[in-house]
């Protein structure tokens, strides 16, 4: 079977930088900085601001708006200085508490492909796609960024140049929570039903963060006279608020190109990274939406979470719950199977499982379908993205780890009606790192988070040595015929 490497190479670009808050510690240091800024005269303020804007304005959308927001963050510390400040001084103060972050300078890898929701204005036979990528910058913090491109009828792949400016999504200030779903998640993680009932007994079917905070304050006041109950409720309250913070929404302006949108860690569970998003175009009857499972990392533990979007403008981030929501590498099927959601998983670091559920957020059972058995995957198996529906079955692109922690990409087939049944598999790798692909941050690794089929070919994006990304093309029939 022939595998064609396209020669496309998507490298990290250190010039793509985000605006991030800069918060010097401790607090008294902030006060000293503010006093220094307040000591210079207005002409020097104007000059310093002019130089700053000239050097940084071209790399960011709405730099002035961000600087004013940063000023608003520290203005409470100005006290007597705040009255009568010029806008230029406010902007300059904001600049001293802002920094740039090169989100993809260290690595740009682990791609997944989905068809773009907008297919207008293209030549006949050409389709537009979105590629998600794990971008890693200073401190090894990972986020999700995007690229776009097209594939012609002849399977010629054309990557579009990304915009230079990048921006994080705006967090929706008061997301609306579903009480039934929220309570079910609390029970899944073992929060006392007594506390759950007391907090949510008087909460409406839909509620906001202020509603929740008000209710928690009310219940907390009722416990003040009982020390043991107060401590227990305090722990429950922390879990409730953590769940609320971990279920949030971000939005982007429609004027911002897809390649300039970044999903950056927001919730406490993500503070050290959003890793390896596996996007899939999910159809349910006549509706279409995009899901992505990803790994949230807080610096100590990893947990799988879920992204939902219809248009790549508004993203809803949710916790996944249930006894089998463990480890990394969960990948949702692109439609329900026999009326149930289906998911690939690997809870034990070695074997591939299939899970079935009546709800995309809850997973409580699994069945092992594939175990290591060939020398190139003796260490572990895992998926390389969501299954792809073909006439012969669900095509799963997989990975295996062998000697010297060398990663290979392979494939297997699942029964269309019962995805717990493996009907065929490759007994050799489809792709292994070659030449320069073996050199990078993590040597000898090839890895993917999601492929597409177009005009009889598998379009397989993959990362090389956890550093950069490329694309290969394989004839689909040849791939399927090679399985047994």
> Tens digits of per-residue pLDDT, 69-125?
999 999 988 876 667 899 999 999 999 999 999 999 999 999 999 999 999 999 999
* Residue 200 DSSP SS3: helix
Question: Cα torsion for 179, 182, 188, 189, to the nearest 10°?
Answer: -130
Asked if 484 and 14 count as a contact pair (C-beta separation under 8 A), the reply is no
| Per-residue DSSP letter, 337 | B
Q: What percent of the chain has pLDDT over 90?
A: 90
| Per-residue DSSP letter, 156 | -
| Residue 40 in this model has a pLDDT that exceeds 80 | yes
What is the residue-averaged pLDDT of the chain? Answer: 95
> Tens digits of per-residue pLDDT, 419-449?
999 999 999 999 999 999 999 999 999 999 9
* Residue 303 DSSP SS3: strand
Predicted pLDDT of residue 1: 85
Query: How far is it, in rounded angstroms, from Cα 296 to Cα 277?
Result: 10
Query: How far is it, in rounded angstroms, from Cα 165 to Cα 42?
Result: 31
| Residue 223 in this model has a pLDDT that exceeds 80 | no
| Residue 269 in this model has a pLDDT that exceeds 70 | yes
Angle at 184 between CA 179 and CA 185, to 5 degrees: 100
Q: Which residue would you say has higher pLDDT here, 189 or 411? A: 411
Angle at 470 between CA 254 and CA 250, to 5 degrees: 25
Asked if 337 and 356 count as a contact pair (C-beta separation under 8 A), the reply is yes
Predicted pLDDT of residue 227: 64
**Lowest mean pLDDT: which of 130-139, 224-233, 324-333?**
224-233
DSSP-derived pairing of the beta strands 287-297 and 302-309: antiparallel
Report CA Rg, the chain: 25
Asked if 214 and 244 count as a contact pair (C-beta separation under 8 A), the reply is no
């Amino acid at each position: 079977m022939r595998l064609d490497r396209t020669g496309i190479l998507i490298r990290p670009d250190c010039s793509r930088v985000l605006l991030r808050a800069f918060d010097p510690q401790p607090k008294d240091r902030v006060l000293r900085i503010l006093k220094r800024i307040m000591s210079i005269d207005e002409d020097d303020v104007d000059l310093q601001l002019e130089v700053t804007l000239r050097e940084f304005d071209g790399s960011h959308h709405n730099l002035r708006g961000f600087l004013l927001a940063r000023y608003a963050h520290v203005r409470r510390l100005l006290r007597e200085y705040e009255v009568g400040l010029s806008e230029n001084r406010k902007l300059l103060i904001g600049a001293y508490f802002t920094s740039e972050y090169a989100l993809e300078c260290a690595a740009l890898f682990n791609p997944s492909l989905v068809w773009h929701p907008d297919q207008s204005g293209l030549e006949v036979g050409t389709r537009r796609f979105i590629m998600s990528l794990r971008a890693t910058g200073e401190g090894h913090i990972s986020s999700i960024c995007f690229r776009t491109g097209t594939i012609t009828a002849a399977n010629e792949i054309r990557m579009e140049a990304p915009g230079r400016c990048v921006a994080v999504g705006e967090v929706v200030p008061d997301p609306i929570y579903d009480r039934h779903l929220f309570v079910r998640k609390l029970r899944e993680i073992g929060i006392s039903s007594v506390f759950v009932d007391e907090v949510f007994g008087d909460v409406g079917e839909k509620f906001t963060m202020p509603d929740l905070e008000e209710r928690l304050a009310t219940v907390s006041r009722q416990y003040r006279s009982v020390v043991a109950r107060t401590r227990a409720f305090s722990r429950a309250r922390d879990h409730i608020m953590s769940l609320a913070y971990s279920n949030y929404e971000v939005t982007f302006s429609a004027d911002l190109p897809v390649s300039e949108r970044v999903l950056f860690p927001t919730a406490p569970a993500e503070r050290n990274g959003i890793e390896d998003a596996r996007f899939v175009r999910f159809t349910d009857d006549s509706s279409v939406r995009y899901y992505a499972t990803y790994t949230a990392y807080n610096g100590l533990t990893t947990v799988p979470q879920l992204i939902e979007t219809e248009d790549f403008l508004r993203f809803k981030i949710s916790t996944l719950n249930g006894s089998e929501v463990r480890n990394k590498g969960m990948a949702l099927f692109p439609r329900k199977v026999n009326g149930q959601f289906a998911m690939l998983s690997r809870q034990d670091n070695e074997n591939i499982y299939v899970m079935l559920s009546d709800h995309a957020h809850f997973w409580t059972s699994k069945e092992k379908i594939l175990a290591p058995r060939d020398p190139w995957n003796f260490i572990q198996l895992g998926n390389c993205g969501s299954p792809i529906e073909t006439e012969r079955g669900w095509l799963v692109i997989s990975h295996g780890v062998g000697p010297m922690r060398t990663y290979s990409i392979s494939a297997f087939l699942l029964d269309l009606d019962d995805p717990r049944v493996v009907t065929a598999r490759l007994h050799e790798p489809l792709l292994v790192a070659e030449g320069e692909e073996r050199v990078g941050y993590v040597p000898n690794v090839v890895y993917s988070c999601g492929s597409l089929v177009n005009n009889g070919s598998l379009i397989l994006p993959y990362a090389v040595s956890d550093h950069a990304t490329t694309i290969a093309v394989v004839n689909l029939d040849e791939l399927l015929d090679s399985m047994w």
